[in-house]
Amino acid sequence: MSNPMLDLLKDMQLFNMLNNFIRRNAPNAIKSIPNQQPVNSSSSRPFSEIIQEASRKYGVDEGIITAVIKHESSFNPRAQSPCGAQGLMQLMPATARSLGVTNAFDPEQNIMAGTKYLRQQLDTFNGDLRLALAAYNAGGGAVKKYGGIPPYAETQNYVKNVMHSINTLA
């Protein structure tokens, strides 16, 4: 017997997985979809109050946090990647736990922890935003191993796209 709610949840989960895949691997394919959220002022951005709080607490610019959220989850607090990353800033479960997160889908916990993790990467890589973003995406070990942005297409595109968004949102 089919459960309509369970079927709907499965469809939504599949949609989110496909949406995340398309946004990461074929960003030009969705350019025709209008942005539902104006980004011309920080108060009109989704989750702006939490982003402002995280920015103040961890000393990371609001535009950087916003750009990471945009590219990680498209502002979807229920986003979950095929590899298990969760929430707005796509925290891996082990990373989330290490940062004290009890519910990675809670926007406040996710943004605060994701920003703290980004701050750690900035500190590790002496304030170099490009390296910190690469570490956020591929892990600090990969950045150290290659002595810079790893030669992974996904990570190189991620850094380029987030940096572009930071400049656009500024």
Identify the three-state secondary structure at position 86: strand
Q: DSSP code of 27?
A: G
Of residues 49, 72, 108, 154, which has the active-site annotation?
A: 72
DSSP per position, 60-102: --HHHHHHHHHHHHTT-TT-B-TT--BTTTTB-HHHHHHTT-S
Identify the three-state secondary structure at position 60: coil
Contact assessment for residue 71 and residue 165, using Cβ atoms and an 8 Å cutoff = yes
53 noted as active-site residue: no
Query: Which residues are known catalytic residues?
Result: 72
